[in-house]
């Protein structure tokens, strides 16, 4: 593992690191904020999964999460959204290929050799953090924005017992019913739609629900609202009687101005679960 940068931040340390990944077969980069408490022993970790076109850097620099994580003594991990490299398949469109991994393990050409972001985020990166940093993997929580919100929800329901709390900012809630999903799942997983269900938060909620507290914020003026399918997940939550808080925030859009406004609420929410 290579240290790309380390900066003092709210009493802790914001680092950026790269390493060769067995999952993707590429060099992967991630950001990790360690609060001051990490000097004395392992601390809980909150994963922040980012959205389309993003790298590890977007949420790390725009969400403002470190200030609030430092108050509680929580580490923050910011993975990349896809594999990178000259030999990695890509597409001219912004919503497929590099920056658009959708947190799945691709099975179709030309994506299959490198686009294994489920394995990377679910298995490889947690193992690396546990071995290399003072991280308590028995206390994990997860959040994400847009495509990353989709990833946070599907990982949490696909890995029961892993996360003590789950939240999302403007998540893609039903990709099997949205242009932000049918295109990508079809490309990465193929035409058999039965394989898509494991990556649709609404279908997962209908089928199995969630074993952790859930908080979702979405803006009423989100310019991508029709693609998010928030109402589908809300219906599934209500039908299942899943304990959850889903808030429509008046006047807010899809940007990091929205995310940074409500990040304190989400850190409060996760801290309550991580330190219970």
Task: Give the CATH number of the domain where residue 162 resides.
Answer: 3.40.50.1820
Is there a cis peptide before residue 110, judged by omega within 30 degrees of 0?
yes
- Of 119, 174, 171, 117, which Cα lies nearest the Cα of 149? 171
- Per the listing, tokens 């696909």 go with 158
| Active site annotation includes 254 | yes
Measure the CA–CA gap between 16 and 24, rounded to whole angstroms.
19
Q: pLDDT at position 18, please?
A: 98
Measure the CA–CA gap between 224 and 146, rounded to whole angstroms.
9
Q: pLDDT at position 123, please?
A: 98
114, 150, 254, 266: the active-site residue: 254
Bridge partners, 246 (sequence order) = 216
Q: pLDDT at position 154, please?
A: 98
Q: What is the mean pLDDT of the chain?
A: 98
Is the pTM for the entire model greater than 0.75? Answer: yes
Q: pLDDT at position 162, please?
A: 98
Measure the CA–CA gap between 175 and 229, rounded to whole angstroms.
8
Q: What is the pLDDT of residues 13-59, one digit of tens each?
A: 999 999 999 999 999 999 999 999 999 999 999 999 999 999 999 99
The predicted model gives 134-145 an average pLDDT of 98
Q: pLDDT at position 96, please?
A: 98
In 86-206 the beta strands, taken as DSSP E runs, fall at 135-144, 166-169
Q: What is the pLDDT of residues 58-99, one digit of tens each?
A: 999 999 999 999 999 999 999 999 999 999 999 999 999 999
Phi, psi of 135 (to 5 degrees): -115, 130
The predicted model gives 104-126 an average pLDDT of 98
Q: pLDDT at position 222, please?
A: 98
Q: What is the pLDDT of residues 239-272, one digit of tens each?
A: 999 999 999 999 999 999 999 999 999 999 999 9
Measure the CA–CA gap between 8 and 193, rounded to whole angstroms.
47
Measure the CA–CA gap between 114 and 133, rounded to whole angstroms.
26
Structural domain total, the chain: 1
146, 167, 174, 178: the active-site residue: 146
Measure the CA–CA gap between 120 and 98, rounded to whole angstroms.
15
Domain assignment of residue 82, given as a range: 2-274
Side by side, the strands of the sheet bearing 27-34 are 2-9, 12-20, 27-34, 75-79, 43-49, 135-144, 166-169, 214-219, 245-249
Q: pLDDT at position 94, please?
A: 96
- What b/e string do you get for 114-151 counting C-beta neighbours within 10 Å, with b at 16 or more? bbbbbebbbebbbebbeeebebeeebbbbbbbbbbbbb
Q: pLDDT at position 121, please?
A: 98
80, 200, 217, 222: the active-site residue: 222
């Amino acid at each position: 593992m290579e240290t790309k940068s380390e900066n003092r931040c709210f009493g802790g340390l914001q680092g950026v690191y790269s390493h060769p990944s067995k999952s993707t077969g590429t060099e992967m980069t991630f950001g990790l904020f360690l609060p001051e408490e990490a000097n004395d022993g392992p601390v809980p970790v909150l994963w922040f999964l980012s959205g389309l076109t993003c790298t590890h850097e977007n949420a790390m620099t725009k969400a403002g999460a470190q200030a609030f994580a430092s108050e509680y003594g929580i580490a923050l991990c910011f993975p990349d959204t896809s594999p990178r490299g000259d030999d990695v398949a890509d597409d001219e469109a912004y919503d497929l290929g590099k920056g658009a991994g959708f947190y799945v393990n691709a099975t179709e050409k030309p994506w299959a050799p490198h686009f294994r972001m489920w394995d990377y985020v679910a298995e490889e990166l947690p193992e690396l953090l546990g071995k290399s940093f003072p991280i308590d993997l028995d206390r994990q929580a997860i959040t994400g924005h847009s495509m990353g919100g989709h990833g946070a929800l599907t990982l949490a329901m696909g890995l029961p017992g892993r996360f003590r709390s789950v939240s999302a900012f403007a998540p893609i809630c039903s990709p099997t019913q949205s242009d932000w999903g049918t295109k990508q799942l079809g490309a990465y997983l193929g035409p058999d739609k039965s394989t898509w269900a494991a990556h649709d938060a609404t279908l997962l909620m209908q089928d199995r629900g969630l074993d952790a507290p859930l908080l979702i914020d979405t803006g009423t003026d989100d310019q991508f609202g029709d693609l998010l399918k928030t109402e589908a997940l809300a219906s599934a939550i209500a039908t299942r009687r899943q304990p959850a808080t889903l808030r429509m925030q008046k006047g807010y859009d899809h940007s990091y101005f929205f995310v940074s406004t409500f990040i304190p609420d989400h850190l409060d929410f996760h801290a309550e679960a991580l330190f219970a």
